[in-house]
Structure formats: structure tokens, C-alpha cells
Amino acid sequence: MRWLEGSPERYDAGMRLLTFGRIAKLHAAVAEAAVAAPDDRVLEIGCGTGAVTALLQGRGAHVTAIDQSPEMLEQAQRRPSGKSAAPVEWLEQTAAEIDRLPTAAYDSVVLCLCLSDMSSSERAFVLRESALRLAAGGRLVVADEVRAPRGWRRATQRLWRIPQACLGWLLVGSLSRPLPDLAGEIRNAGMHVTRARAWMLGSLQLVVAERRP
């Protein structure tokens, strides 16, 4: 989704279009998985325009939201939040800098459509460091574009990616990169996968994981 990130004001509408509206369901499922109880502390990495942040706030969470893009953060901060919502701590920083944040301090760490923007070594580092930021019993909640399972779903995904890639290339000259094995990468970071769910013929996936004892 990197190509839409260059224009934050068009990002939300673009994502709705590209996902046939499924993005709202994905965001709602992410927020539901991330907040087990009001006052949960949530670290959200790559908050973008703040759609998930607002849902987390709406569930009563105390959110620390980070993003490397000042334009995205600015857009996120303009999003209205409920009167009783706890204020968000906004941090302009890269995911690779989360090792500066306190360890064992969050009930969940959320990465929604952000990991696929990173190199494989950065993903491995960020997943390992995310696990360290979780308090006992905490959850890692990751949602992203993934390579669809083999067979007709993979073939359909390839067909769908042709117009998507053309549009992306025309707009900003870059392409998104679906992850080959999201659950596997999370396991390699020492986490135990407890739940996985897919949308859009398996091309959008939500994975929930806990830290191994």
C-alpha cells in the first residue's frame, strides 16, 4: 500500500476502493483483537491516518501511535476522537526505533498494513522487538497484505494485482509487496500464533500471537 502513503488525504478513500470496503472490517477486527479491556496500553506501529488508532481509543485504550511519516501523523491527529477518549501519544519515529520504548509495557502491539513496507531483516527485528514490548499475557496483532494460498485464490490475486499495480505505478511509481509467510515470520520472532483470519480470497490476513512463556 506504499503508493497511497504519499498522499495521506487520499489514503482512506483509496484503501476503501482497493479493498472493496473490506478495510473497515479489517480495522475493526484489529481493534477488537488488540483491546481486551478498557485502559489497555496499546503500541500501534505505522498508524498512518489514524483509522485504527481511533477505534482503539473508542474501546478505551491508551494508545502510543508511531509513524515515520510526518504527513500521515498530521492527518491522524486531525481525526476527531470521542470526548472521553484518552489522549494518544503520537511519536514520529521509525519502527526500527521501537527499541527505545520501554519493555514489557504494553498489553498489545499492533501493526496494521505496515510490515509489508519493510525489508525482511527489518520485519524480523521489529517483530522481535515488539514481542519484548509486551507485558505478561500481552498480544501481538498484525494485519497485512499476504500472498494468497496456492491454487485458484493465488491465480485470482495475480489477476487482481494487474490493475492494482498499474494504478499504483501510474500514481507514484512503486508497488506493494504481499508478505509470503506472515504467521511464519511471527513464529520465528518467538511468538505463539493463537488466531489467524483472512479476507479478500486470503490476500489480507490478521494474525494474533502471544509471547512464548
Binding stretches for ligand SAM (CB under 6 A):
1, 5, 46-48, 51-52, 67-69, 72, 94-95, 112-114, 117-118
Residue 106 in grid coordinates? 504494553
List Cβ<8 Å contacts ≥24 apart for 64-69: 64/88, 64/89, 64/91, 64/101, 64/106, 65/89, 65/90, 65/91, 66/90, 66/91, 66/92, 66/93, 66/95, 66/98, 67/92, 68/92, 68/93, 68/94, 68/95, 69/5, 69/8
- Of 77 and 94, CB closest to ligand SAM: 94
- Of 150 and 204, CB closest to ligand SAM: 204
Task: Tell me the closest approach of the beta carbon of residue 190 to ligand SAM, in angstroms.
Answer: 20
Task: Tell me the closest approach of the beta carbon of residue 23 to ligand SAM, in angstroms.
Answer: 7
End-to-end CA distance of the chain: 34
Write the DSSP assignment of 44-98 as a string of letters.
EES-TTSHHHHHHHHTT-EEEEEES-HHHHHHHHHS---TTSPPPEEEE--GGGG
Task: Tell me the closest approach of the beta carbon of residue 150 to ligand SAM, in angstroms.
Answer: 26
- Of 114 and 189, CB closest to ligand SAM: 114
- Of 72 and 186, CB closest to ligand SAM: 72
- Of 94 and 156, CB closest to ligand SAM: 94
Task: Tell me the closest approach of the beta carbon of residue 71 to ligand SAM, in angstroms.
Answer: 8
Does residue 63 contact residue 56 with C-beta atoms inside 8 Å? yes
Task: Tell me the closest approach of the beta carbon of residue 213 to ligand SAM, in angstroms.
Answer: 29
Task: Tell me the closest approach of the beta carbon of residue 200 to ligand SAM, in angstroms.
Answer: 14
- Of 20 and 137, CB closest to ligand SAM: 20
Question: Cα(128)–Cα(97) distance, rounded to whole angstroms?
Answer: 12
